[in-house]
Amino acid sequence: MALVCNKSVPLRRLLWTRGIADYSRGHISDDDLKALFEEWAIHNHKHYKSVKQKEWRFMHFRKCFEFVVNGNISQPFSTLGLNDFSDYTREELDVIMGDAHYLTKE
């Protein structure tokens, strides 16, 4: 879901502002996360065709954000961050990364 990435500036800024411990206990408001998503989308030149698609992508972004925060807390010697794939599904990432072995060939 998330890859190690050096250009995750919005995430770092938000975590430094509020403190990572708050996020590890689930203390991030929907407004803060939506603001981060909007900043991330602008930073990564994301454009969605509809409100429904944007909500779908936000749902996956939220999952990725939680994965990143929990991963950074549990593995202090590595750093995860948000990247341009942070709103993708696991299946989409598998196809992009060439790991879609479960897809049938026609």
pLDDT at position 98 is 84
Asked if residue 1 belongs to a domain, the reply is no
- Express each pLDDT in 70-94 by its tens digit: 888 888 788 888 899 999 999 998 8
Q: pLDDT at residue 17 above 50?
A: no
Asked if residue 2 belongs to a domain, the reply is no
Cβ-contact 65, 82 below 8 angstroms: yes
∠ CA 48-54-57, rounded to 5°:
110
Asked if residue 4 belongs to a domain, the reply is no
Asked if residue 22 belongs to a domain, the reply is yes
Asked if residue 62 belongs to a domain, the reply is yes
Cβ-contact 21, 96 below 8 angstroms: no
Number of domains in the chain: 1
Residue 17 lies in domain? 9-96
Tokens, residue 40: 């991330």
44 DSSP 8-state letter: T
pTM of the model: 0.71
- Express each pLDDT in 22-65 by its tens digit: 555 556 888 889 999 999 999 999 999 999 999 999 999 999 99
CATH number of 31's domain: 1.10.287.2250
pLDDT at position 5 is 44
Residue 87's nearest CA partner among 29, 36, 25, 17 is 36
Residue 40's nearest CA partner among 70, 5, 75 is 5
- Non-local (6+) Cβ contacts of 36 within 8 A are 10, 11, 14, 65
Asked if residue 37 belongs to a domain, the reply is yes
pLDDT at position 77 is 86
Asked if residue 29 belongs to a domain, the reply is yes
